[in-house]
Amino acid sequence: MQIRVINPNTTRGMTDTIATAAQGIASPGTRISATQPAHGPVSIESHFDEAISAVGVLEEVRAGERDGVDAYIIACFGDPGLLAARELTRAPVIGIAEAAFHMATLISTRFSVVTTLGRTGIIAEHLLDQYGFHHHCRRVRAAEIPVLDLEDDGDAALARIIDEGRRARDEDGIGAIVLGCGGMADLTDEIAAAVGLPVVEGVTAAVKLAEALVGLGLGTSKHGDLAFPRPKPFIGRYAHFSKGAALS
Q: Which helix (H) or strand (E) holds 162?
A: helix 154-171
Q: Which helix (H) or strand (E) holds 139?
A: strand 137-142
pLDDT per residue rounded down to tens, the chain (248 residues): 999 999 999 999 999 999 999 999 999 999 999 999 999 999 999 999 999 999 999 999 999 999 999 999 999 999 999 999 999 999 999 999 999 999 999 999 999 999 999 999 999 999 999 999 999 999 999 999 999 888 887 899 999 999 999 999 999 999 999 999 999 999 999 999 999 999 999 999 999 999 999 999 999 999 999 999 999 999 999 998 887 666 54
Q: What is the pLDDT of residue 248?
A: 45
Cα–Cα distance measured from residue 158 to residue 176, given in angstroms and rounded to the nearest whole number: 18
For residues 26 and 19, the answer to whether their CB atoms sit within 8 Å is: no
Cα–Cα distance measured from residue 159 to residue 20, given in angstroms and rounded to the nearest whole number: 22
Neighbours of 130 (CB within 10 A): 13
CA atoms within 13 A on the CB side of 59: 18
CA atoms within 13 A on the CB side of 97: 29
Query: End-to-end CA distance of the chain, in Å?
Result: 24
DSSP-derived secondary structure for 114-136: EES-HHHHHHHHHHHHHHT-GGG
- What type of residue is 87? E
For residues 192 and 114, the answer to whether their CB atoms sit within 8 Å is: no
- What type of residue is 34? A
- Closest C-alpha to 89, from 77, 72, 107: 72
Between the CA atoms of 54, 224, 221 and 241, what dihedral angle is there, to the nearest 10 degrees?
Answer: -40
Q: Which helix (H) or strand (E) holds 6?
A: strand 2-6
Q: What is the pLDDT of residue 153?
A: 78
Cα–Cα distance measured from residue 132 to residue 26, given in angstroms and rounded to the nearest whole number: 28
Q: Could you give the domains of the chain?
A: 2-95+205-241 (3.40.50.12500), 97-202 (3.40.50.12500)
Q: What is the pLDDT of residue 152?
A: 80
Report helix, strand and coil shares of the chain as percent, to nearest 5.
50, 15, 35
